[in-house]
Amino acid sequence: MREVRPIPANNVSDTDCDCIVLGAGAVGLACASVLAARGVDVQVLDPRPAAGGVMQSERVDGYLLERGPNSTLNTSVRVERWLAELGVAEARRFGPQAASKRFILRGGRLRALPTSAAAFLRTPAWSLKGKLRLMAEPLIPRRRATTEECLADFVRRRLGQEGLDYALDPFVSGVYAGDPARIAIDAAFPMMVDFERDHGSLVIGMIRTAKARKADPDRPADRTLYAFAEGMQQPMVAAATRLGDRLHLGVRARQVVADGDHLRVESDGLTLTARRVVCATPAYAAAELLAPLSPEAGRLLGEIEHNPVAQVYLGYRREQVGHPLDGFGALFPSKEGKLTLGSLWSSTLFPNRAPKGHILLTNFAGGARRAEIRDMDPVEIRNQVVEELAPLMDLHGEPAFAEVQVLPRAIPHYTLGHTARIRAIEQALAATPALHLTGNYLLGISVSDCWKRGLLLGDALAG
Ligand SMILES: Cc1cc2nc3c(=O)[nH]c(=O)nc-3n(C[C@H](O)[C@H](O)[C@H](O)COP(=O)(O)OP(=O)(O)OC[C@H]3O[C@@H](n4cnc5c(N)ncnc54)[C@H](O)[C@@H]3O)c2cc1C
């Protein structure tokens, strides 16, 4: 992926501007690009050498490696319009029909998840007892207590133990790298709480609200999964290029302090003051940046946990792989006791992910359930993941390509108390209306949620 060259901090004189955006990830760049397009004098700071935050794409030995997200869902017309404005809408590559097939590990075998009611009745992915319990969901009385509930208890109550172990747990491990016993249902899946409270059932809630959801003007006609021809960083590079010298890469903001009715951002070699500051960094970075403004907000932001994830990229010659790899990939429930959380079949999903005659598997390991991955030797991680995958996918011989990347604080964990904590952070910062807090630890971690949040904030600030 093309990189936007860093502008050394000492080339920029200390200056006043209208808005400073801290963080050039999905949220920060979406917000800043709207502000810039609407003529707002915006400056963006980020310590990384390239734009996009965790969205970094790199071609190594002919394989296109995604260092962060691999794809996202088309969920917003506002996002579609923005991608068109950036000139990258045409570069989107939608997942093929095969991508709708997903596998789950159960009893030492990969089993395809059912995609129809008839297939659900036949699938060996759940026992007969488990299926009957899932089907009984509309009959389960709604919970009366109003205390906070963890995802595991909620799902066990409504869908049964097997529904938790072989439906929700692998999904949560795959998306959040999280622990269902610690995730707060109201923070991570508020819609499920609404369905139970308003309709008495998840299934009935989904059916009854389907019409209203379809009528949402921001809902695209086609909600397919997509990536970009040059990788997920492509739209981020397009946004960064448009920002030009308003984007200061290689510059880490140190602290935000009040300066009359303005805010001052102090960084090494660069001090900027502005009427408004958007803090779009991860929560742990915001904790340090905002502590001078509000020690309480800093303390609470620092309490937000992040789960570690290791990505194990494996390339094989096609003939080394017995499995047809005819799907999106496979998820590994905690019950199966593996280090691997899931395996994404990247070269099945999108073209140009692997050299001709080769395949690419992007595998995820660790997460909350195996947080010790932070300290494991990458070679050990690689060997263990290969050992776990080989019998399941019929892999033969040494991989033609292997690389491991460990992200110690990859994904925010929406643990019990998250909603109250966010409310308390907002209260602690209420006396500083010039500061706008945003990021993936608020209301959803997916790329499309992050982009939409950044765009809407940009719209509001520019308006
Ligand atoms: C491994 C992985 C796989 C994922 N897979 C998917 C997927 O397949 N699909 C999907 O939809 N989502 C996925 N996600 C989630 C999604 O990619 C992220 O939630 C989203 O990209 C986060 O965007 P962000 O802007 O909030 O944060 P970030 O991308 O973390 O950006 C924040 C920026 O703030 C900068 N910063 C930090 N400190 C400072 C400072 N002091 N001053 C200035 N800037 C600072 C950082 O350098 C960074 O660039 C994945 C995430 C990870 C980590």
pLDDT at 376 over 80: yes
Binning pLDDT at 50, 70 and 90, where does residue 10 land? very low
pLDDT at 398 over 80: yes
CA of 26 to the centre of ligand 1 (A): 7
More confident of the two residues 214 and 299: 299
Instruction: Give pLDDT tens digits for 48-79.
Output: 999 999 999 999 999 999 999 999 999 999 99
Instruction: Give pLDDT tens digits for 144-157.
Output: 888 999 999 999 99
Ligand 1 atom having least distance to the Cα of 51: 49
Q: What is the pLDDT of residue 38?
A: 96
Cα 31 to Cα 343: distance, rounded to the nearest angstrom: 32
pLDDT at 12 over 50: no
Binning pLDDT at 50, 70 and 90, where does residue 1 land? low
CA of 300 to the centre of ligand 1 (A): 20
pTM of the model: 0.94
Binding site membership of 409 for ligand 1 (Cβ less than 6 Å):
no
Q: What is the pLDDT of residue 223?
A: 84
pLDDT at 163 over 60: yes
Binding site membership of 342 for ligand 1 (Cβ less than 6 Å):
no
Average pLDDT (382-393) is 98
CA of 281 to the centre of ligand 1 (A): 8
User: What element of type H or E holds 302?
Assistant: helix 295-302
Query: How wide is the angle at C-alpha 157 spanned by C-alphas 151 and 162, nearest 5°?
Result: 85
Cα 267 to Cα 399: distance, rounded to the nearest angstrom: 44
Binding site membership of 363 for ligand 1 (Cβ less than 6 Å):
no
137 CB-contact burial (10 Å; exposed 0-12 / middle 13-18 / buried 19+): middle
Binding site membership of 234 for ligand 1 (Cβ less than 6 Å):
no
Q: What is the pLDDT of residue 95?
A: 87
pLDDT at 274 over 70: yes
Instruction: Give pLDDT tens digits for 35-50.
Output: 999 999 999 999 999 9
Instruction: Give pLDDT tens digits for 211-249.
Output: 888 889 999 988 889 999 999 999 999 999 999 999 999
Binning pLDDT at 50, 70 and 90, where does residue 446 land? very high
More confident of the two residues 268 and 62: 62
Q: What is the pLDDT of residue 14?
A: 57
Contact between 419 and 184 (Cβ < 8 Å): yes
More confident of the two residues 270 and 422: 422
| Domains with residue ranges and CATH for the chain | 9-55+229-304+414-462 (3.50.50.60), 126-214 (1.10.3110.10), 306-412 (3.90.660.20)
Q: What is the pLDDT of residue 5?
A: 42
pLDDT at 264 over 80: yes
Binding site membership of 193 for ligand 1 (Cβ less than 6 Å):
no
Scored b (16 or more CB within 10 A) or e, 62-97 reads ebbbbbbbbbbebbbebbbebbeebebeebbbebee
Average pLDDT, the chain: 93
Ligand 1 atom having least distance to the Cα of 446: 11
Binding site membership of 290 for ligand 1 (Cβ less than 6 Å):
no
